[in-house]
Structure 1
């Protein structure tokens, strides 16, 4: 008898996501206009919102996010140390960094240019009459000089405890370079770090099997609390942002991948499904980094020496999705308030948003803070951000998925240009798939 075929990870995540959205809409309908509603089951009273939404869904989703974030710091540090110390020519690190940062800035500039052009053509804010009572609390962004100072850690342990990615990256690179220059002692330590990397990646694989349940909890809570009236009032803005995100994600990335590296974009997008779904459900490039790293190395064939540098750096400074939101939001807010922006203003928006994608890395609420900086630069009222906060959470899910695809695309281009790329793995449809499903019965024995 043929063995029953198990569902793949992608299918299980999609099922969990769809089930969560359905349950969320159901609860949203039941709780419409009510603070609480009781449900009687087997003689027991259940408060729907308190027990399910604020209880089960919230706890399950937060545990899932926490379990992913738990791996970020050790994964970034260990992988980057392994990648740096394995570089045959340590002088190539500068070239690697230049290519990576240059590509990230280029894609960000293209993203915001597309967003501004689409928003000007469609005009999502023309004729919109909305109240601006919603407030936005702006956290002050650091100055450019302070950004460069903050890149270098004074206490690496504190940087790891706080999850400061740029400081962790700098320390890991320096530590890896020191290991590469330390002869036998460095080789012995490199073997330890290689084993640690294998163990961490196995832990990533274990957690990926719990993803469908985590995604269900996250979607169920989000769509229970999401206001339908908010989406309806901002439908045109929402549609424009979503359209440009998809256009940039598929067309810009696909064309760049084909033209610069010659790789087949269809294979790339097929293998990015799991990582993109993770990014969509978590709304966090950092939380999704373990899955992105595994996808880039195991499925796309980028060597760890490249991926360990490009993926963490991309999760920190690659803000293509956020740049698209900024471009559309700037035009939208200008149209709502009846402000005519000049060509110089639009060029300033592109320049500010592109540089800010690096300059505001690590600042809480980075997307809205970057938008506030852009609005101030062209003289638009920061209060206009209050108009779009209602749907920003849902759009944030999509732009995180776009950012993750951008990280992987740049990793492939840089890896191929540095000859640290396995084309056979890239073309193999089964590469990395065997790692997805874990037999938990064997683990218990």
Structure 2
């Protein structure tokens, strides 16, 4: 809420003082630079520690495969729904795109290389030190996954590394929390500078983006979560899901943090009939890697930049690129309030946009943060029900209700 208040105040300052508000931009640049420095260690420790801890649980293999299937499927559906939304309602319609583009600079050379080269550069680098750059987010993610997997496979010999990764991840999260205290000031100052320079040329685009996202979020929350609950447990699944989802939803809205919702989601997913071992796997993992709301937001942010830079969005290749790009965005979004900076960096790197475009879409992340967190967090509960359906069989909910009569 403080972050949103900072943006509102920054917007007012930009409108009132016009170009004089650009004097505040250095305060915004300080925040962005600090976050850029945090990206590499944050991504590495977050992902590698999460994977390194995945061992020793009953039925882990079947649960993990089912979880990955459910996460992939629902995120794919979310990205398609988001793409349909931006196809029907263009978020940048009416914006003076030339002025915005001039502010951000020209896009990179991502389109001047072959598809094969782009795939190689997207997932790998040629030397280890190149991983230590914010321009190599996806190769870093691949390395982090491999490192976490190898640590888990090492068993007792890897226990010291697991402890180190967990401790380092906790420290990095605390550092992010400390930095986020400055976020309302930093982003507020940057927004004041942007609005002071562009004024109404871009405010309309943000307003359209927010309205579009809100409509999609309400549709997805009511229609698709109901559908998923029905697939998981039929009419009884729908009933037990909506009976227990109110508290997790309110917690998500109040905290704007998927991580903060983990204890509540664990409690209420078990009340939905999810077995403890499935809940304790799906909910924490989902808070870090499964975010349907962020996927839809990723489509919106990519489309926003596509519109500004005049890129074509309707061809099959563009459609596939946007959908898959948004899918990755959902996987790397931070699980804390304002934790989307990693995703913004991934977007500009994958699609060849200038780094100056990062704060422009960070503002979109901020204004959609509440409904996005609601979808992210609530989606993990219904995903846990779907995983239980796969692991326990079609009578899982009937057995639960028989053992736990109302």
Distance 2:360 2:161 in 1: 46
Aligned to 2:64, what secondary structure does the other structure show? helix
Deviation at 1:165, TM superposition (A): 1.9
Asked if the contact 2:92/2:304 (under 8 Å) is kept, the reply is no
Does residue 1:269 correspond to 2:245, yes or no? Answer: no
Measured after TM superposition, the shift of residue 202 of structure 1 is: 8.0
Q: CA deviation at 1:75?
A: 2.9
Correspondence 1:23-422 to 2 at 5 A? 25-26=12-13, 29-30=16-17, 32-34=18-20, 49=23, 54=26, 58-59=29-30, 63=34, 71-86=42-57, 88-119=59-90, 124-125=93-94, 131=98, 134=102, 135-140=105-110, 143=115, 147=119, 151=123, 159=131, 164-176=140-152, 178-179=153-154, 182=155, 185=156, 193=162, 197=166, 200-201=169-170, 204=173, 208=177, 210=178, 213-228=181-196, 230-261=198-229, 262=238, 263-264=241-242, 266-273=246-253, 276=256, 292=258, 294-301=259-266, 303=279, 305-307=281-283, 309-314=285-290, 319-327=295-303, 345=314, 349-357=318-326, 365-367=345-347, 392-398=361-367, 405-419=374-388
Could you report, residue by residue, the CA deviation over 1:155-194 in whole angstroms, capped at 9, with x for unpaired residues?
8897578661233124323432x14xx5xx37xx559847
Contact 2:14 2:196 in 1 (8 A): no
How many residue pairs get aligned? The number is 344
Larger radius of gyration: 1
Offset of residue 108 of structure 1: 0.3
Deviations along 1:312-344, one digit per CA (max 9) or x if unpaired, are 44479964213124457767988xx9x9x9xxx
Distance 1:348 1:267, change over 3 A: farther
TM-score normalised by structure 2 residue count: 0.62
Check the 8 A contact 2:293/2:372 in 1, yes or no: no
1:203-238 superposed Cα distances (whole Å, 9 cap, x missing partner): 746864x47732332233123312256341345443
- SS of residue matched to 2:106: coil
In structure 2, C-alpha distance between the alignment counterparts of 1:173 and 1:354, rounded to whole Å:
27
Deviation at 1:250? 3.3
How far apart are residue 79 of structure 1 and its match? 2.3
Structure 1 residue 310: Cα displacement: 3.7
Distance 1:85 1:20, change over 3 A: same
Q: Relative to total residues, which structure has the larger helix share, 1 or 2?
A: 2
Q: Does structure 2 conserve the Cα–Cα contact (< 8 Å) formed by 1:112 and 1:326?
A: no
Aligned residues: CA RMSD: 5.0
TM-score (normalised: structure 1): 0.58
Contact 1:169 1:312 in 2 (8 A): no
Please say if 1:22 is aligned against 2:9: yes
**Unaligned runs of at least 5 residues, structure 1:** 1-13, 37-48, 277-290, 374-384, 421-445
Deviation at 1:241, TM superposition (A): 1.9
Once residues 305 and 400 of structure 1 are traced to their aligned partners in structure 2, the CA distance between those partners, rounded to angstroms, is: 25
Query: Gapped runs of 5+ residues in structure 2?
Result: 230-237, 270-278, 333-341, 392-406
The whole-number CA distance in structure 1 between the counterparts of 2:25 and 2:309 is 33
